[in-house]
Copies of this chain bind each other. A is one copy, B any other.
Amino acid sequence: MRIALDAMGGDYAPAVNVEGAIETVSDFEDIDIILVGEEPLIKRELDTKKYPHHRIAIKHASQVVKMDESPSVAIRKKRDSSIRKGLELVKDGGADAFVSAGHSGVVMATALLLLRTSHKVDRPAIAAIMPTLKAPVVLIDAGANLYCKPENLLQFALMGNTYCSSILQRSEPKVALLSIGEEDTKGNELTKEAFKLLKQANIHFTGNIDGKDIFTGNADVIVCDGFTGNVVLKTSEGLADAIIKMLKREIVDIAVGRIGYLLMKPALRNFKKKTDYDEYGGAPLLGINGTCIISHGRSTSKAIKNALKVAADFSEKKVYEIIATEIEKSEGEKIAKK
């Protein structure tokens, strides 16, 4: 298994990317890495470290896409970017998957351009993982599509369902639709129409869910448009950060609390681990012909390693092929019903 890693993407690139690659090959025997980006910079990082040389290769790319660049300009003008070169490797069979912590809009658009959507898939979607009181939940779409039709939400549901059963290994995942109330009648035109389609789909659809219930863990997959999904994901991330900060502040404000804090530290560490986005590594872009994982811009080496592991899982289980089959089946059923 060979995974191409964008060595230039993310806030701490290339240092943490190179570190993450080395940690990966040392932890997983079956994953080799191709670091894509400016060769001299990557070499300088690698040279300071010990690693099995035959398992980490470099693919030179002379350009870097900056985080605040316009996707359309970056795609047109940076044909030798680490993002494009990495995805070309996947297209040409030189790599089994691509991982990037760089500009997510550019990664998405380039993946779509080079790998194309699977047969019968209208729009690819980002599937993010969020912690809950029970097992983590898949949120789809977490930001690929700002405008969605009910039919798109149906396809997202099928893709999320496949992710959840293939990778998270849950049988008959419970799929819910994000809205502003649990009743069928609650929501906007998009969710009301999508509700009808999901009810007829070949999945275990449990109805509407509202924001309050995302974290109870009663759903395995939560479906929404990409604008709403992105807002939910970022709001949750921001609130989790804020709560930990507020709590620490409260604790040190009270003298006896400080002793309590020391005694509680292992619990807080465990808690942080559970809510830590680094643990989940990255979010797959589903519905395209190949495996592409988008990581957080603030990725640490641990997050990079986890994203590479996720990429290997997706590629090994051929998730994108299963998704193509599922969507094709569903479209066939729709035609049969007509």
Contacts and interface: CB of A to CB of B under 8 A. Distances in A.
Interface of A: 68, 70, 131-133, 143, 146-147, 178, 180, 183, 185, 187-188, 210-216, 227-228, 230-243, 245-247, 250-251, 253-254, 256-257, 259-264, 266-268, 270-271, 274-275
A9 to B, nearest CB: 17
A267 B257 contact: yes
Nearest to A253: B267
8 contacts: A143-B180, A215-B242, A243-B243, A250-B267, A250-B271, A257-B267, A260-B260, A260-B263
A240 to B, nearest CB: 7
B68 A183 contact: yes
Contact of A260 (B233, B250, B267): B267
A242 B234 CA distance: 17
Nearest to A182: B68
A271 B242 contact: no
Contact of A212 (B178, B234, B257, B259): B234
A232 B229 CA distance: 10
Given A239-B239, A260-B263, A263-B260, A231 B228 contact: yes
A265 to B, nearest CB: 8
Contacts of A227: 180, 187-188, 228
Contact of A232 (B211, B240, B270): B211
